[in-house]
Copies of this chain bind each other. A is one copy, B any other.
Amino acid sequence: MAPILCVGALTMDTIFRLDRLPDGPGKVIPLDAVEVAEGMAAAQAASIVRLGEEAALWASAGDDATGDRLVAQISGEGVDCSRVRRVNGARSGFSSIFMDRTGHTMIVPRYDPALMAAPDAAPDLGGIAAVMTDVRWPGAAALALAAARAAGMPAILDADMAAREVLESLLPLATHVVASESAAKLVTGTDSAEAAATSLAAKHDAFAAVTAGAEGCWWSERGEIRHTPAPRIESIDTLAAGDVFHAGFAVGLVEGWEMARIIAFASASAAIKCTRFGGRLGAPTRAEVEAFLAR
């Protein structure tokens, strides 16, 4: 096995599960609460390890105590954090999230702009099997996607909502685009996930998938559009579900599966996550996904 390098966000989320979201000032006692190191790339990397492949993380943290805890927690999941950049004098990213019983969230994230500074150089991809980037650290994502393409390995872009310029700068660099429905519609100017997947694949000569939550996933392979329905589950926490989908996608891709199997595996991984509270802490193991798919 060779690790998948995940590039992008790393933040400390505090997630409170509430009976319902507050509708004004006041005090609410939570049903549960967890502090979890995540952010898109970090959640993807940790989920890849649970799904049975190796992962490395390239992300930025401050040189503060929160940064120490971020690295310790993600390393504790088995992710290689040796590439994590600690920025002098910067505060590590953090957020607080109030979530109701059905997964609706109020999110307040705090991110030090100093963490966003573009890196000086692309990472060393020696020994890496594939690169997957999010849209939260665009300078690094561009370098890493370009280097992966040049090295002939998969360059996967998690195209979630971001400024249009960010999406447009990264899309041409990817060999595989897995976009959220809202971002895909924004950047293609289409009004359906299906049309967006078709447009992304054609325009960028790449594999393209568009995830639409409970509506499933539309994906385009060699000019043909396909749809994989989402498993029916009772969702209580969709936080990091997209990251778990991407983790499953990357795992299947580096293992050389057929695309239909990859998408089904990614969909099942994300579906299981949605049934569990705690953001990426709810990511399943490979055995759990296989048992789910065998039902």
Q: Which residues of A contact B (CB under 8 A)?
A: 14, 16, 18, 21-30, 33, 35, 65, 69, 94, 96, 98, 104-110
Contact = CB atoms under 8 A, between A and B. Distances in A.
A109 B27 contact: yes
A25 B106 CA distance: 5
Nearest to A108: B16
Contact of A27 (B18, B25, B107): B107
8 contacts: A16-B108, A22-B106, A25-B105, A27-B109, A28-B107, A28-B108, A65-B65, A98-B108
Contacts of A30: 108, 110
A257 to B, nearest CB: 34
A30 B109 CA distance: 7
A24 B100 CA distance: 11
Given A25-B105, A98-B106, 13 more contacts: A14-B96, A16-B96, A16-B108, A21-B24, A25-B104, A25-B106, A26-B106, A28-B106, A28-B107, A33-B110, A65-B69, A96-B108, A98-B108
Contacts of A21: 22, 24-25
A96 B34 CA distance: 12
A110 B16 contact: yes
How many copies are assembled?
A: 2
Interface centre among A25, A30, A65, A98 (most CB of B within 10 A): A25
A26 B24 CA distance: 15
A195 B68 CA distance: 53
Interface centre among A23, A28, A96, A108 (most CB of B within 10 A): A108
A239 to B, nearest CB: 12
Contacts of A25: 21, 104-106
A142 to B, nearest CB: 24
Contacts of A110: 16, 30, 33
A140 to B, nearest CB: 21
A18 B109 CA distance: 11
A55 to B, nearest CB: 24
A29 B30 CA distance: 22
Nearest to A72: B65
Nearest to A15: B96
Nearest to A69: B65
